[in-house]
């Protein structure tokens, strides 16, 4: 799946959205050959969904899962099934999970 990108209003950063809940992913790290004896080549970036452990407000939680009948603070993004992790490859393709 390709990255869902949204340009910021000031022409600066580009955001990446969670494929499950649509919230902006948080850049967590980069991965590649970064050890001192390696080439320093970057393979991609690692992102985390801010809602993988729950939503900040009841309104956001209910919007994501309106049929939920329990406490709103029990609602978590579906990305929690892969620890809220996403990563990209060199071509910019977004994958669910953590790079191996």
Domain ranges of the chain: 5-96
Which tokens go with 65?
């899962």
Query: What is the reported pTM?
Result: 0.79
88 DSSP β-pair partners: 94
List, run by run, the mean pLDDT of 10-residue segments along the chain (100 residues).
46 75 94 90 95 95 93 94 94 91
Provide the pLDDT for residue 4: 46
Provide the pLDDT for residue 50: 96
Provide the pLDDT for residue 75: 95
């Amino acid at each position: 799946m390709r990255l869902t990108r949204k340009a910021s209003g000031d022409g600066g950063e580009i955001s990446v959205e969670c494929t499950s809940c649509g919230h902006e992913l948080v850049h967590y790290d980069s991965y590649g050959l970064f050890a001192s004896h390696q080439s320093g080549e970057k393979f991609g970036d690692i992102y985390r969904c801010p809602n993988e452990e729950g939503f900040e407000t009841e309104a956001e939680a209910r919007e994501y899962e309106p049929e939920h009948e329990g406490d709103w603070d029990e609602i978590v993004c579906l990305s929690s099934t892969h620890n809220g992790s996403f990563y990209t490859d060199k071509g910019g393709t977004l994958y669910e999970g953590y790079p191996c």
